[in-house]
Amino acid sequence: MEQNFGELSLGIVQRRIQDWLDTQLSFPCSGDEGEYGFYIGRCYPRVEDRRSFFQRHIQVAKLSSGYRIAARLAKNNLFRLVWTTNFNGLMARALAETPVTPVEIGRFQ
């Protein structure tokens, strides 16, 4: 069975998994607004484990060119505010390469 799902990045494999999940009554449908929270909660029921999981990935995250470009636009006063649902701090890291001072407001659970 595992060999059927060996390469999770393939669209066909993702569709087969999603098709199975969609037949399960206890799982949210694809695109459901609570889908992400449901699955991360199932994988990591303890808040501390979820926080640790995300921290490991955030620490090694690389700035994409989009973040760097946004930081340069802010530096040149082309915009003053960035609102994002991201909690990875990458925008603040990009702004650290400029004289712009980031102010982050949020809550991490």
> pLDDT tens-digit profile of 36-65?
899 999 999 999 999 999 889 888 988 999
- CA distances (Å), 26 to each of 12, 60, 67, in order? 23, 34, 38
Which pLDDT band, with edges at 50, 70 and 90, does 3 fall under?
low
Q: Which residues of 55-72 are buried (b: 16+ CB within 10 A; e: fewer)?
A: eeeeeeeeeeeebbebbe
Query: Can you tell me which residue has the tokens 């649902």?
Result: 85
State residue 29's pLDDT score. 85
- The reported pLDDT for the residue numbered 86 is 77
For residue 52, the model assigns a pLDDT of: 93
What confidence tier does 88 reach under pLDDT thresholds 50, 70, 90? confident
Query: Is the pLDDT score of 6 beyond 80?
Result: no
Indicate the SS3 state at residue 108: coil
Q: How far apart are the C-alpha atoms of 10 and 37, rounded to whole Å?
A: 23
pLDDT of 24 reads 85
pLDDT-based confidence at residue 108 (cuts at 50, 70, 90): low
Alpha-carbon Rg for the chain, nearest whole angstrom, is 19
